[in-house]
Amino acid sequence: MSDQESQTMALAGMFQCAALIEQMATKGDMNEAAFDCSFDSLFTFNAPTTLDVFGDLAGLSRGLNVLTQYLGGENQKSKHIAYYVLSMLKIAARLQGDEGMASEIQTSLQKIETQARKFDLSRKSIIAKIDGVYQSTVSTINPRILVQGEQNYLSNSNNASKIRTLLLAGIRAAVLWSQLGGSKWKLLFSRKKYLLTAKQLLSSL
Q: Which of these, 51, 62, 72, 70, lies nearest to 9 by C-alpha position?
A: 51
- pLDDT tens-place string over residues 118-137: 999 999 999 999 999 999 99
Q: How many CB atoms are closer than 10 A to CB 155?
A: 9
Q: What is the mean pLDDT of residues 33-53?
A: 96
pLDDT at 75 over 70: no
Confidence of residue 200 (pLDDT cuts 50, 70, 90): very high
- Residue of 53, 57, 29 lying closest to 40 (CA atoms): 53
- pLDDT value at residue 67: 95
Roughly what angle, to the nearest 10 degrees, separates helices 61-71 and 3-27?
A: 90
* Percent of the chain's residues with pLDDT above 70: 99
Domain locations in the chain as residue ranges: 3-203
**DSSP character at residue 133:** H
- CA atoms of 91 and 141, how far apart (whole Å): 8
With CA atoms as reference, report the closest residue to 204 among 36, 86, 51: 51
Cβ-contact 91, 144 below 8 angstroms: no
pLDDT for 82 equals 92
The pTM for the full model equals 0.96
Superfamily of segment(s) 3-203: HflD-like (1.10.3890.10)
